[in-house]
Structure 1
Amino acid sequence: MSEPPGATIAASEAPPAADEPSKPLAAQRVLPLRRPGRWIATAVVLVLAAQFVHGLVTNPFYQWDRFGYWFLRPTILDGLVITLEVTAYSAVLGLLGGIVLALARLSKSPVLRAVSWTYVWALRSVPLIVVLLFLYNFSALYKTLSVGVPFGPAFFSFDESKLATDMVVAVIGLSLNEAAYAAEVVRGGILSVDQGQHEAAAALGLPKGYQFRKIVFPQALRSITPNYVNQLIGLIKSTSLVFYVSLLDLFGSAQSMGSTYPGDIVPLLLVVTVWYLILTSIVSVVQFYVERYYARGATRTLPPTPLQKLRTGLADLRARIRREAAV
């Protein structure tokens, strides 16, 4: 009886017999896919990084001994304190103003929407240095300020030049500018909340204020937090402009010392750079934990903390070493 066509091929492709010896499962290894491009790119990056660090450490132009001398000098630390004060006041006032402007943009009143839009448009269009200089010279335009009935009698008046100190001018200028950007951040966060949340809260008959405080705003914070912290980092760096309104912050103190000691300009700039890096790094760490806090209920698993990542990496490394030793 003749074999059907393809029988020989099928027989050759048949799996090996069950009695044939096979390697134990523990001896079988899965070889990872070779990625030479990744290794080449890693090597290039490491070489460039090593060259950068070597030049940074060995170049006498940076004068690291003078850097160490200036880093904790009282003049620099006093400027750092002023930077922190201006940042803290401006961040709080700017965020509060941004919330008010965002709610006005979302209001059903056309007047509130128009005023809020105009404010955001104007303050985002004008450079911050112009706003600060305008406020610094505000007393030349208005000698006194009064509160009363428009086109009518004034209840009381005060001298603007005595009230507007350098710190007040810096905080007001930064807060006005920050509020314009914070308004868009807050408005975007509120709009990111699913419309069904608003409808469900309204169906329950909850008051508008309660809906916003307990339902809408907590969910909007997941979107607001990373964007506003990004604004906060920009605010920290923007405080360097208050030097132009006669307030000696961190940058202003270094600039003043650089005028007195022209040979130490580069070390002083490095001091300012390192302090700004420290401040922004602290803000970034706080941002991570705030985002992680508000991610509860929105993700199945929370993102691991740096300490948890370190523990996981060490555990993986120990497991890999044990596997290599067993083979």
Structure 2
Amino acid sequence: MSHAVRPDSVELIHARPVPKPGRWVSAIIVAVIVAMMVNSLVTNPNFNWPVVWEWLFSRTIMIGVGYTLLLTVLAMVIGTILALTMAVMRQSPNPILSGVAWAYIWFFRGTPVYTQLIFWSLLPVLYPQLSLGIPFGAEFVTFQTSAVLSVFWMAALGLGFNEGAYLAEIIRAGLNAVDKGQWEAATALGMSRGQIMWRIVLPQAMRVIIPPLGNETISMLKTTSLVAAIPFTLELTFAASTKGNQLFLPIPLLICAAIWYLVITSILMVIQHYIEAYFGRGFDGKESSREDWVEARRQALLAQDPPTIDPSLEARP
């Protein structure tokens, strides 16, 4: 027979943490390794830190930073537009649209981006002239490919088309994460497929899309170094490497590039964190504290008639 217990008489268990010497051992090992690495970076004369600080904000490096950021932004904008279009086409009941989207994703995901960039650089050789007109008919506009597509735009388009294939699968996964009941409820209200996609499904899918989209943006920042295949010589890694070879100091100049990559990546990670927090409101998954749980349990038991408290109050499941 259970006996009623006054809530004030309940004593919480104040558990002591279990000793974990393994954490201290691992922390000491990591601290020793970090100290060794820092000592090596500071004392090794081959890094030539005075040259690094001299060239870190030089015109050559800053131009490379600017073009790297510009390529990253353009590639992600082009890739996001293509990805959103292809993801919607993949969801379309029209087999032609779905097939075209599948073929685009299959091709650009199935070939290396470096190879694609080489073909973009050879586009003026493959198609010296581009024309707009009716097939097998009159040509309305004809222009030289090399005059329209500069090396910079070849790099931006090459990166953007490749990124669009990967982002398309990310966006499609986000769209599929939204419960199908959302479609059914919106359809019952008389909304069109376009309205359902833009007003109902896509805002909810952003919580799933944003984290990998941020990762792809950071990855694209570093992928821009591959545009040397075109070649685009103003990109950060290529510019730093070229200047380092001219000065016979490749290591300090490449360290300058690495520092800027780390700075930009860190800023992007902070921005990604806040964007994820914005779209993840209501899905933080935080657990309540033990005190919150005990208080909620106590209130629930006091609400019973008669009020009782059982021993399970002292042990959180």
TM bucket normalised to smaller: 0.7 to 0.9
Q: Distance in 2 between matches of 1:31 and 1:87?
A: 51
SS in 1 for 2:140: strand
Q: Distance in 2 between matches of 1:106 and 1:29?
A: 55
2:82 to 68, 82, 97: 97
1:203 aligns with 2:188: yes
Q: Could you report, residue by residue, the CA deviation over 1:139-164 in whole angstroms, capped at 9, with x for unpaired residues?
A: 11111111111222212111111011
Partner in structure 1 of residue 40 of structure 2 = 55
Q: Distance in 1 between matches of 2:197 and 2:14?
A: 57
Does 1 or 2 have the higher relative contact order (CA < 8 Å, sep 6+)? Answer: 2
Deviation at 1:298, TM superposition (A): 3.2
Deviation at 1:279, TM superposition (A): 1.2
Partner in structure 2 of residue 167 of structure 1 = 152
Deviation at 1:184, TM superposition (A): 0.5
1:291 aligns with 2:276: yes
Q: Distance in 1 between matches of 2:212 and 2:16?
A: 43
Q: Distance in 1 between matches of 2:148 and 2:14?
A: 77
Q: Match of 2:242, as an amino acid?
A: S
Partner in structure 1 of residue 143 of structure 2 = 158
Q: Distance in 2 between matches of 1:82 and 1:258?
A: 18
Deviation at 1:301, TM superposition (A): 6.0
Equivalent pair of 2:244/2:252 in contact (CA under 8 Å): no
Deviation at 1:259, TM superposition (A): 2.0
2:54 to 69, 86, 90: 69
Partner in structure 2 of residue 221 of structure 1 = 206
SS in 2 for 1:158: strand
Q: Distance in 2 between matches of 1:89 and 1:228?
A: 15
Structure 1 residue runs of 5 or longer lacking an equivalent are 1-24, 303-327
Partner in structure 2 of residue 253 of structure 1 = 239
Q: Match of 2:145, as an amino acid?
A: E
Compared CA separation, residues 29 and 201, structure 1 to 2 (3 A): closer
Deviation at 1:29, TM superposition (A): 7.5
Equivalent pair of 2:129/2:145 in contact (CA under 8 Å): yes
Compared CA separation, residues 62 and 195, structure 1 to 2 (3 A): same
Deviation at 1:299, TM superposition (A): 3.9
Deviation at 1:94, TM superposition (A): 0.6
Q: Where in structure 2 are the equivalents of 1:102-121 lying within 5 Å?
A: 102-121=87-106
Equivalent pair of 2:120/2:230 in contact (CA under 8 Å): no
1:133 to 118, 122, 125: 118
Q: Distance in 1 between matches of 2:130 and 2:41?
A: 53
Which is greater in Rg? 1
Equivalent pair of 2:79/2:164 in contact (CA under 8 Å): yes
SS in 2 for 1:155: strand
Q: Match of 1:234, as an amino acid?
A: S
Deviation at 1:49, TM superposition (A): 1.2
Partner in structure 1 of residue 310 of structure 2 = none
Compared CA separation, residues 182 and 30, structure 1 to 2 (3 A): closer
Partner in structure 2 of residue 244 of structure 1 = 229
Q: Match of 1:171, as an amino acid?
A: A
Q: Where in structure 2 are the equivalents of 1:16-55 lying within 5 Å?
A: 31-55=16-40
2:175 to 177, 187, 190: 190
Of all paired residues, the percent bearing the same amino acid is 38
Compared CA separation, residues 180 and 29, structure 1 to 2 (3 A): closer
SS in 1 for 2:33: helix
Structure 2 residue runs of 5 or longer lacking an equivalent are 1-10, 288-317
CA-based RMSD:
1.7
Partner in structure 2 of residue 16 of structure 1 = none
Q: Distance in 2 between matches of 1:295 and 1:124?
A: 29
Q: Match of 2:137, as an amino acid?
A: G
Q: Could you report, residue by residue, the CA deviation over 1:201-251 in whole angstroms, capped at 9, with x for unpaired residues?
A: 111111222211111001100010001111111111010111232321111
SS in 2 for 1:145: strand
Q: Match of 2:90, as an amino acid?
A: R
Q: Distance in 2 between matches of 1:32 and 1:279?
A: 40
Q: Match of 2:189, as an amino acid?
A: L
Q: Distance in 2 between matches of 1:301 and 1:42?
A: 27
SS in 2 for 1:296: coil
Q: Distance in 2 between matches of 1:161 and 1:300?
A: 54
Q: Match of 1:36, as an amino acid?
A: P
Q: Distance in 1 between matches of 2:201 and 2:110?
A: 30
Q: Distance in 2 between matches of 1:250 and 1:299?
A: 38
